[in-house]
Amino acid sequence: MRFDVITLFPELFAPFLVCGVTRRAYEAGLVEVRLWNPRDFASGNYRRVDDRPFGGGPGMVLMAEPLTLCLESVWAERAVSGAAAVPTVLFSPVGQVLNHADVERWSASSGAVLICGRYEGLDQRFIDTFVDHQISLGDFVLSGGEIAAMALLDAVARLQPGVLNDEGSHQMDSFNLALDGLLDCPHYTRPEAWRDQLVPQALMSGNHAHIERWRREQRLALSQRQRPELIQQARLAGHLSASDEAFLADLIENPERDA
């Protein structure tokens, strides 16, 4: 798959693409990333890409023409290289909040053109004409779309075959259907005792059924306390057993209990 990233700051991506476990996805060509700067398509001595907003107000707005010329160049280069036609995505506070199901869909796609906004945003006429999807990371505002683009690329890259050391490790991540969409449980490693804190005895028992039940209850408890809507979604999907429901009922009745 191939992602073409339109950004005024392509240099931000250089260290991201060569660090960490996901670099394997980029080095192996499982996820190809190409960077495009709309300033290269702006006219005039100063290569200006923004201007004041009509109607007044603070900040500057990215102009439609440099973005359009840049996007058309992306399309032309993709066509010459034989890359598949893909949607155009804008990272924006008004977009749909990215979730695990979205990441899984993108990880199985041919990629996308990712547009990283800056300043007060983009000329709405460009958005209306070219943008197919808008994505947000949550109810807050970033200085630009670059961090959001990196988040999507990282999430997609780690789902590619051979990227993680353990092929099945991502299946045990929070929100994965293998966990019924719940949050993951706590994890512990050596030493067994650390600053007067011990590893839970259930994990030291050697009883795999007991360990799995402990982990299940931890996932249920953490999801109930931190993200109760995930419990409701799992319930509606029929993922909760009678013992799960009994545990949750007891947890609600005794919220201070140790799961």
Catalytic residue among 39, 93, 102, 154: 93
**The two three-digit tokens of residue 92, written as one number:** 């924006």
Catalytic residue among 102, 154, 173, 184: 173
Catalytic residue among 65, 102, 104, 120: 120
Task: Give the CA angle between residues 88, 94, 95 to the nearest 5°.
Answer: 45
Sign for the CA dihedral angle at 39, 50, 71, 113 comes to: positive
- Please tell me what DSSP assigns to residue 122: B
By the 8 A CB rule, do 32 and 1 touch? yes
| Angle of the 146-157 helix axis to the 100-107 helix axis, nearest 10 | 70
Compute the distance between CA of residue 27 and CA of residue 106 in angstroms, rounded to an integer. 19
Q: Clarify whether 53 is annotated catalytic.
A: no
- Between the two ends of the chain, the Cα-to-Cα distance in Å is 43
Q: Clarify whether 120 is annotated catalytic.
A: yes
Catalytic residue among 4, 118, 146, 158: 158
Residues annotated as catalytic (active site), given as ranges: 93, 120, 158, 173
